[in-house]
């Protein structure tokens, strides 16, 4: 349906041509045309750098270049799944990539299988991460876990706690590493039920050390200042472990900033001083105080923030050179990463799956024994029951200390003895289960799990490729937003919504083969301020002289009111 380049399709179908050339045609009122304005940013963020890691298609009407540009455009246009393209005109979307129509859903999925079968997504992500880090030179990384909840029936996944739903649900855990402004660098996927502490030591830190190359000048400076870390990690209290913090500093000279767990003491409110702290919403006043903190032979700095209601939020760090204000600023800026997850779920459907295939997991991986978990859960419930019985006995005894009626005394004594006997039976049951648990290993090899409930995993390659393209789209949006920000006082609240409206704007396309120009005329936006801002962005983008991939046409943008 909607195909007009019949001869070229037949040649590709019979293997007489490798791929059809990209050929734009002049058209008017093309929906979603504003997405073309983000193409230079996508290319700058490395969308087509996949060429260094993947082999091109041997035959086919569409090339892999077309595939990646199309998928990025679909995500930016908020078309959140391949199935959803059935509800849009394939011909109109095809004009955005220089073809008569976009591929059908089955063709898209087969092309994804074709490229993921090469298995180079990890290499491509590492190369992109290194390029981004070399450009931005970060000294601080935010780390947080995200659960991709699974509602299907093919995979047998372990249950994870999903904080946004306050439930334990089957899914896969991804740990994301982001910059201080929310831009993602890379992510790692846990095999089964690994905690953040394990992933830090085994996956994240080794990858960061490999990507975060320290120059000779930086190394000499750090050698002279023994207190300067290689870099600093910021995460929530999930990975709280003073032993881990000491190991990171002593072995790798990596500092951490996190919330302190199990705070029971209170500092005097007279100790706190007002500071101006920079946050994502601007400067704000905070009452802060710092003291030395030692735990398990690990010396740290503790900074507390006093809230208006008297609550004290405790922050722990092993960074020895950061100021008190910067420690608080970095810790509370962790919400940038939470906002990143929220935005990606809502706008890019972060948890969507392209392929529903299942992969087996190495049977030698040690996992938490379900039998051990089950008996621990039963012990916990019995101890809760025991606490309720003891509380009831105490309350009963306090209410019946003295009785003048012999009949009431006998009734009280009988109830009391029944409660005591009930408590004794529960205690014996708990003691028996605790002894049974001693003979059950906490962790077992995956191969020892019964086959019917043995864990497997969703296809990691396709999900990683999908996430990587979404990361590039998010970074392209961020780069675009930085150019728009000077024109808006409330840039943090308005820019992303404006970018979305620009993407959804219709355009007219004119092809000038004499001057090798692809002229894109954007329709006016809702107000004059936005039109002027976009007109200035068009001037900036035009100076880059970006050529549309696969053609000799240089992109030239203009807004109708300019």
Q: Note the pLDDT tens digit of each residue in 264-307.
A: 889 999 999 999 988 766 788 999 999 998 887 788 999 999 99
pLDDT of residue 216: 46
Q: Is the pLDDT of residue 403 over 90?
A: no
- Mean per-residue pLDDT for 201-216? 81
Chain centroid offset of residue 182 CA: 10
What lies within 8 Å, CB to CB, of 220 at 6+ separation is: none
Partners of residue 554 on adjacent β-strands? 517, 547
Q: Is the pLDDT of residue 505 over 50?
A: yes
Could you tell me which of 232, 153, 157, 154 has the C-alpha nearest to residue 190?
157
**pLDDT digits 0-9 by tens, 236-248:** 988 999 999 999 9
Give the pLDDT band of residue 47 (cuts 50, 70, 90). Answer: very high
pLDDT of residue 351: 87
Q: Is the pLDDT of residue 496 over 90?
A: no
The domain limits of the chain are: 6-118+506-559, 120-235+334-366+455-488, 370-440
DSSP classification of residue 526: S
CA 328 to each of CA 121, 288, 309, 314, 322: distance values in angstroms, whole numbers, following the listed order: 36, 8, 18, 10, 10
Q: Is the dihedral of CA 240, 164, 185, 330 positive or negative?
A: negative
CA–CA distance, 64 with 112 (Å, rounded to integer): 9
Chain centroid offset of residue 130 CA: 18
Q: Is the pLDDT of residue 215 over 70?
A: no
What b/e string do you get for 263-276 counting C-beta neighbours within 10 Å, with b at 16 or more? eeeeeeeeebeebe
CA–CA distance, 211 with 233 (Å, rounded to integer): 15
Q: pLDDT averaged over the chain?
A: 88
pLDDT of residue 450: 81
Tokens read off for 265: 């003491």
Tokens read off for 57: 């298609």
pLDDT of residue 177: 95
Give the pLDDT band of residue 31 (cuts 50, 70, 90). Answer: very high
For the whole model, what pTM was predicted?
A: 0.88
**Is residue 494 classed exposed, middle or buried when 0-12, 13-18 and 19+ CB atoms within 10 A define those classes?**
middle
CA–CA distance, 560 with 562 (Å, rounded to integer): 6
Cβ atoms of 116 and 465 within 8 Å: the answer is yes
DSSP secondary structure string for all residues of 230-295: S-EEE--GGG--HHHHHHIIIII--EEEEEPSS------GGG-EEEEEEETTEEEEEEEEEEEEEE
Cβ atoms of 451 and 360 within 8 Å: the answer is no
CA–CA distance, 462 with 121 (Å, rounded to integer): 8
pLDDT of residue 214: 58
- Mean per-residue pLDDT for 32-58? 93
Tokens read off for 184: 């993602």
Q: Is the dihedral of CA 467, 470, 476, 482 positive or negative?
A: negative
CA–CA distance, 317 with 382 (Å, rounded to integer): 38
CA–CA distance, 459 with 379 (Å, rounded to integer): 36
The angle at the Cα of 397, spanning 412 to 432, to the nearest 5 degrees, equals: 95
Cβ atoms of 303 and 284 within 8 Å: the answer is no
Give the pLDDT band of residue 76 (cuts 50, 70, 90). Answer: very high
Cβ atoms of 321 and 329 within 8 Å: the answer is no
Give the pLDDT band of residue 193 (cuts 50, 70, 90). Answer: confident
**pLDDT digits 0-9 by tens, 55-66:** 988 888 899 999
In this structure, how many other beta carbons lie within 10 angstroms of the beta carbon of residue 500?
A: 16
């Amino acid at each position: 349906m909607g195909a007009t380049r019949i001869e070229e399709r037949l040649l590709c179908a019979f293997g007489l041509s490798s791929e059809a050339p990209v050929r734009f045609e002049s058209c008017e009122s093309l929906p979603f045309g504003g997405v073309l304005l983000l193409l230079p940013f996508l290319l700058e963020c490395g969308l087509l750098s996949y060429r260094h890691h993947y082999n091109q298609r041997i035959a086919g009407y569409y090339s892999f270049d077309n595939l990646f540009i199309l998928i990025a455009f679909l995500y930016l246009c908020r078309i959140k799944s391949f199935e959803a393209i059935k509800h849009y005109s394939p011909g109109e979307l095809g004009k955005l990539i220089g073809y008569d129509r976009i591929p059908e859903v089955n063709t898209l999925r087969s092309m994804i299988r074709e490229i993921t079968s090469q298995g180079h997504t990890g290499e491509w992500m590492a190369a992109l991460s290194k390029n981004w880090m070399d450009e931005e030179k970060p000294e601080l990384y935010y780390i947080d876990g995200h659960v991709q909840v699974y509602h299907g029936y093919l995979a047998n996944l372990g249950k994870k706690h999903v904080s946004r739903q306050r439930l334990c649900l089957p899914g896969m855990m991804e740990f994301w590493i982001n910059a201080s402004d929310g831009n993602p660098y890379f992510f790692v996927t846990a095999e089964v039920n690994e905690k953040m502490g394990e992933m830090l030591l085994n996956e994240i830190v080794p990858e960061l050390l490999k990507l975060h190359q320290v120059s000779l000048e930086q190394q000499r400076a750090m050698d002279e200042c023994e207190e300067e870390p290689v870099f600093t990690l910021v995460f929530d209290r999930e990975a709280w472990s003073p032993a881990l913090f000491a190991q990171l500093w002593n072995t790798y000279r990596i500092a951490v900033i996190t919330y302190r767990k199990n705070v029971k003491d209170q500092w005097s409110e007279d100790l706190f001083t007002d500071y101006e702290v920079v946050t994502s919403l601007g400067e704000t006043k905070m009452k802060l105080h710092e003291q030395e903190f030692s735990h398990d032979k690990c010396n740290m700095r503790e900074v507390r923030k006093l809230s208006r209601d008297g609550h004290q939020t405790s922050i722990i760090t092993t960074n020895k050179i950061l100021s008190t204000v910067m420690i608080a600023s970095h810790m509370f800026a962790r919400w940038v990463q939470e906002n990143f997850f929220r935005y990606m779920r809502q706008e890019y459907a972060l948890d969507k799956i392209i392929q529903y295939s299942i992969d087996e997991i190495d049977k030698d991986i040690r996992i938490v024994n379900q039998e051990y978990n089950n008996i621990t859960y039963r012990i916990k419930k019995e101890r809760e029951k025991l606490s309720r019985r003891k509380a009831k006995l105490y309350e009963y005894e306090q209410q019946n200390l003295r009785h003048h009626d012999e009949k009431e005394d006998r009734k009280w004594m009988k109830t009391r003895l029944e409660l005591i006997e009930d408590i004794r039976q529960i205690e014996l049951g708990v003691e028996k289960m605790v002894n049974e648990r001693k003979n059950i290993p906490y962790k077992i090899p995956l191969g020892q799990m019964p086959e019917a409930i043995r864990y497997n995993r969703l296809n990691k390659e396709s999900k990683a490729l999908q996430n990587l393209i979404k990361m590039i789209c998010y970074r392209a949006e961020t780069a675009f937003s930085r150019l728009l920000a000077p024109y808006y006082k409330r840039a943090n609240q308005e820019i992303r919504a404006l970018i979305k409206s620009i993407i959804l704007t219709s355009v007219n396309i004119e092809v000038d083969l004499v001057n090798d120009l692809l002229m894109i005329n954007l329709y006016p936006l809702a107000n004059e301020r936005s039109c002027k801002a976009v007109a200035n962005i068009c001037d900036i983008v035009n100076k880059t002289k970006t050529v549309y991939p696969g053609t000799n046409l240089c992109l030239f943008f203009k807004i109708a009111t300019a």
